[in-house]
Amino acid sequence: MNEINARRLDIDALRALRAIRLHGGVTRAAEALGLTQSAVSHKIKRMETSLGCQLLDRRPGGGMFTSEGAALLDYAARILDLHDEALISFARSDLAGRILLGLTEDTTCSDLSRILGRFRRQHPHVAVRTKVRMSLVLRAMLERGEMDVAIVQVFAHEVRPTDLVLFRENLHWVKSRELSLAPEGPIPFLSFDDDCFYRRWAIDIGQDGGAELETVFECSSAAGIVAAVNAGLGVALLSDRHLRPDMEIVDNGLPEPPELVYVVRRAKKTRNPALESLIAEIGTEVSRYGKLALAG
């Protein structure tokens, strides 16, 4: 048996490696996977021995992964996707029907897109029609029965018992490090458009803390708001994934924003086998890794 045939890529070890990337470290990955830290470390070290290279960068101040580890992560995503698809295909049912799905901009380029692609291949007789809108618009469409299910952002206190939680993150007031705010007068506010619930919170609730906001820039795209912040045009509300090294978090003079949660939310009266199967597959992915990767 030659050297290549003697090597093996363990599926559980690949899952552990991917969880380390998703959660930012071995300890958090172990918690998400329901394993001990030593068990996760052992899986990675065993795979390193098999491959003859280091995957994690263990130097003080180093990055999370070595170049070999980063390269293996790309393969791991494809291997795990095919592995899971193969297993599911043997339990495949003849599902048919239609699903009206809503996504936000942040979730179109993420693990959810990969799951949807796999679901389409496994269930070719299920038609999935997708609309990309802001969370507030999608939530209203769900209430009116114009959508079967949607992936939306809500504040933590708005999570319902029937929601499937995908991801939690913090919301921050941010500005360019080059921007100096005047001690008095209104704060220049960089805002998403009228359909953004960040904006509504900031205007309806945020100003109760005594801060006066003056909207100087409106844009429906996160990329546009990030660019405006970097240009020093004002202060914005951005989530963890949109923070950049040259941004400064504003802690003083503004009310603390609430926690954000991404959820899968059904319309109240919508139930069909195809929809339940899709939600179950998303839930299985969350259970495996503790959360899904979203676009940054």
Q: pLDDT tens digits, residue range 167-206?
A: 888 999 999 999 998 888 888 999 988 888 888 888 876 5
- Give backbone dihedrals phi and psi of 276, rounded to 5 degrees, phi first: -65, -35
Distance CA 21, CA 114 (A): 17
Range from 36-40, 218-222, 292-296 carrying the lowest mean pLDDT: 292-296
pLDDT at 9: 87
Position 266 scores a pLDDT of 92
- 2 pLDDT higher than 60: no
Q: Check pLDDT > 90 for residue 18.
A: no
Question: Distance between CA 205 and CA 222 in Å, rounded?
Answer: 22
Whether the CB-CB separation of 48 and 72 falls below 8 Å is answered with: no
- How far is the C-alpha of 152 from the C-alpha of 139, rounded, in Å? 7
pLDDT band at 1 (very low <50, low <70, confident <90, very high): very low
Are the beta carbons of 254 and 173 closer than 8 angstroms? yes
> Tens digits of per-residue pLDDT, 214-260?
899 999 888 899 999 999 999 999 998 889 988 999 988 788 899 99
- pLDDT computed for residue 232 by the predictor: 95
Whether 21 has a pLDDT exceeding 50, the answer reads yes
Domains 3-89 and 171-257 share a fold: no
Residue of 160 and 288 predicted with greater confidence? 160
User: With 60 as the cut, is the pLDDT of residue 53 above it?
Assistant: yes
Residues composing the chain: 296
- Inter-axis angle of helices 11-23 and 26-33, nearest 10: 120
Residue that wins the pLDDT comparison between 27 and 81: 27
- Per the prediction, the chain carries an average pLDDT of 85
Q: What pLDDT was estimated at residue 93?
A: 61
Domain boundaries, the chain: 3-89, 97-168+261-289, 171-257
Domain 171-257 has CATH 3.40.50.620: no
| Beta strands across the sheet bearing 164-169 | 126-132, 97-103, 149-155, 260-266, 164-169
The pLDDT of residue 166: 86
Residue 295 pLDDT greater than 80, yes or no: no
pLDDT of residue 125: 87
CB 232 within 8 A of CB 179: yes
Distance (Å, whole) CA 281 – CA 276? 9
pLDDT tens profile 265-282:
999 876 788 898 888 888
Q: 119-135 pLDDT, tens per residue?
A: 888 888 899 999 999 99
pLDDT score recorded for residue 207: 58
Tell me the C-alpha distance between 190 and 185, whole Å.
Answer: 16
* Higher local confidence (pLDDT), 164 or 210: 164
Q: Is the pLDDT of residue 296 over 60?
A: no
Minimum mean pLDDT range among 158-162, 189-193, 211-215:
211-215
Residues 6+ away with beta carbon under 8 Å from 213: 186, 187, 189, 202, 203, 206, 207
Q: Tell me the fold of 3-89.
A: Arc Repressor Mutant, subunit A (1.10.10)
Dig out the tokens for 79 from the structure. Answer: 């291997």
What's the whole-number mean pLDDT along residues 138-151? 93
Domain at 97-168+261-289: CATH code: 3.40.190.10
Q: In the 8-state DSSP scheme, what is residue 37? A: H
Give per-residue pLDDT as tens, 57-112. 888 766 788 999 889 988 888 888 788 777 766 655 678 889 999 998 887 766 78
For the residues of 221-235, what is the DSSP string, one character each?
-HHHHHHHHHTT--E
